[in-house]
Amino acid sequence: IIDKKNFKYIILGGGVAAGYAAMEFTRQGLQPGELAIISKEAVAPYERPALSKSYLFPNEPARLPSFHVCAGSGGERLLPKWYEEKGIELILGTEIVKANLASKTLISASGKIYAYQILIIATGSTAVKLTDFGVQGADAKNICYLREISDADKLVETIKTKQKGKAVVIGAGYIGLEVGAAMTINEFDVSMVYPEPWCMAGLFTPAIASFYEGYYANKGVKIIKGTVAVGFEADSNGQVKTVKLKNGEVLQADIVVVGVGGSPVTALFKGQVEEEKGGIKTDGFFRTSVQEVYAVGDVATFPMKLYSDMRRVEHVDHARKSAQQAVKAIKASEDGKSIQEYDYLPFFYSRFFDLSWVFYGDNVGEPVLFQDIQDNSTTRPSSTKPKFGTYWIHNGKVVGAFLEGGTAEENKGIANIAWLQPEAKEDLLEKIGMLIAGLY
């Protein structure tokens, strides 16, 4: 007997994009039994950003169901019951191990077959592992990664068993900075190790990074730049004990947290669909090269209209919006209608300790630092209320804007600047200085 189930729509992956797509399907009109979400994770779609922030807090940590989608964007929180009421099948704890786009079927690890008419690929990213580069001893216990809720649970358990111990954080991108802060709040003695000359080198300028590095140092974090981990030693229980660095230094460690990047989960579709820049190539409606197959969120390489370029974005705002766009496009094409192409303004943000920054646009060209014209101490790491920003000027226009400590209105203001790309006139710096002083 063949174990096969048929659906009109299947979303493969049960992360952020899947949840927002489900919500959009119900807005556009969905019949019970039409939609299934298949996810390797054991829980309904949730706001992944919580995992490296409030999920790790020692006091009153966030736990499901409090951060199921669409809580992160102020929408209705989709509890498992909601899917049931809408007749959406949540097929959880189920890994798809084979996809056949020609026969429109997916096969699970246990051999179940799922057939669809329309597929939305929303498989997200996976954490790059140190074992992938063959780092010696990188399979020791208590070397943690953070991508899914099961990873976060494992990290929380390890934090509990190694209280007030030593933590080594490897990488200073998003995960490194956010988890480095969380480990410090958990009273670990934290060292951060990364190869670049400054943290978050893909986005921050040296001036922005120097503020955050100073802030972390003031919190007691030891920063070791310009080197990488080349090996780990474990104790007799197989638990990590030391981290050997390329510069010869050896660090003691009870926990190691690694955040050295993500990589889009596309292997199931290799050779079946066109790819570009490491992701699945789509148009402005998130249609792939295969009819009735869409790709959204981290895996999609889509036309970024604003910059006339094909881009892949690994951030939550795009995961939400691309999912909504794909569902709108699916429904419009069923009704013989058309919708506007995706026209996205990149938006990234992060929060750690008492800090909070936003970035909109493109970080190309010449960066210019701006600060509160009334109080220039706010750019110092020791400031009690830090507030400063940077904008990027490219071909005479402002194309990107960063702001630490902005109010909701100010953040909206710099988003508008990045969207409208005004000419970088001489008085702009002064105006933005006034903007963050609340006078503009």
- Comparing C-alpha atoms, which of 98, 88, 75, 435 is closest to residue 267? 98
Q: Specify the residue, 106 or 121, whose C-beta has the smaller distance to ligand NAD.
A: 121
State the binding partner of 17 from ligand NAD, ligand FDA, none, CB within 5 to 8 A by kind. Answer: ligand FDA
State the binding partner of 89 from ligand FDA, ligand NAD, none, CB within 5 to 8 A by kind. Answer: none
State the binding partner of 170 from ligand NAD, ligand FDA, none, CB within 5 to 8 A by kind. Answer: ligand NAD
Q: Residue 262 interacts with ligand NAD (CB under 6 A)?
A: yes
Write the CA distances from 103 to 18, 47, 106, 293, 368, integer angstroms.
23, 33, 9, 12, 53
Name the minimum Å distance from CB 298 to ligand NAD.
Answer: 6
Q: Residue 40 interacts with ligand NAD (CB under 6 A)?
A: no
User: Which parts of this chain interact with ligand FDA (CB under 6 A)?
Assistant: 13-18, 38-41, 48-49, 51-52, 95-96, 122-125, 146-148, 265, 268, 297-298, 314-317, 319, 348-350
Q: Residue 125 interacts with ligand NAD (CB under 6 A)?
A: yes
Name the minimum Å distance from CB 261 to ligand FDA.
Answer: 11
Q: Specify the residue, 132 or 249, whose C-beta has the smaller distance to ligand FDA.
A: 132
Using the rule CB under 6 A, which residue among 174, 212, 215, 232 binds ligand NAD?
A: 174
- Comparing C-alpha atoms, which of 252, 258, 257, 228 is closest to residue 166? 252
Name the minimum Å distance from CB 196 to ligand NAD.
Answer: 5
Q: Which two tokens stand for residue 206?
A: 């040296």
Name the minimum Å distance from CB 428 to ligand FDA.
Answer: 27
What region, left, alpha or beta, does residue 421 occupy, with left being phi > 0 and alpha being psi -120 to 50 degrees?
Answer: left
Please state, in angstroms and rounded to a whole number, the distance separating the CA atoms of residues 133 and 314.
22
Map residues 304-343 to x or -, x wherever contact with ligand NAD holds by CB under 6 A: ----------xx----------------------------
Within 186-245, the residues that bind ligand NAD by CB under 6 A are 194-196, 201, 228-229
Q: Residue 297 interacts with ligand NAD (CB under 6 A)?
A: no
Task: Tell me the CA end-to-end span of the chain in Å, nearest whole number.
Answer: 70
- Cβ neighbours of 153 (radius 10 Å): 13
Count of residues of this chain found to bind ligand NAD when the rule CB under 6 A is applied: 24
State the binding partner of 38 from ligand FDA, ligand NAD, none, CB within 5 to 8 A by kind. Answer: ligand FDA
Contact assessment for residue 138 and residue 232, using Cβ atoms and an 8 Å cutoff: yes
State the binding partner of 13 from ligand NAD, ligand FDA, none, CB within 5 to 8 A by kind. Answer: ligand FDA
Please state, in angstroms and rounded to a whole number, the distance separating the CA atoms of residues 10 and 4.
14
Q: Which two tokens stand for residue 100?
A: 């056949």
**Cα 224–246–155 angle (5° rounding)?**
60
**Residue of this chain nearest to ligand FDA (CB atom):** 15
Write the CA distances from 153 to 56, 91, 160, integer angstroms.
9, 21, 11
Choose one: 206-214, 239-247, 257-265, 326-334; the region binding ligand NAD (CB under 6 A).
257-265
Within 134-173, the residues that bind ligand NAD by CB under 6 A are 170-173
Concatenated DSSP letters of 152-221: HHHHHHHHHHTTT-EEEEE--SHHHHHHHHHHHHTT-EEEEEESSSSTTTTT--HHHHHHHHHHHHHTT-
Name the minimum Å distance from CB 315 to ligand NAD.
Answer: 5
Contact assessment for residue 20 and residue 70, using Cβ atoms and an 8 Å cutoff: yes
State the binding partner of 234 from ligand NAD, ligand FDA, none, CB within 5 to 8 A by kind. Answer: none
Q: Residue 402 interacts with ligand NAD (CB under 6 A)?
A: no
Q: What DSSP designation does 340 have?
A: P
Beta-bridge partner residues of 126:
263
Beta-carbon contacts of 155 under 8 Å, excluding residues fewer than 6 positions away, are: 56, 144, 146, 179, 255, 257
Residues that bind ligand NAD (CB under 6 A): 52, 125, 170-176, 178, 194-196, 201, 228-229, 259-262, 314-315, 348, 350
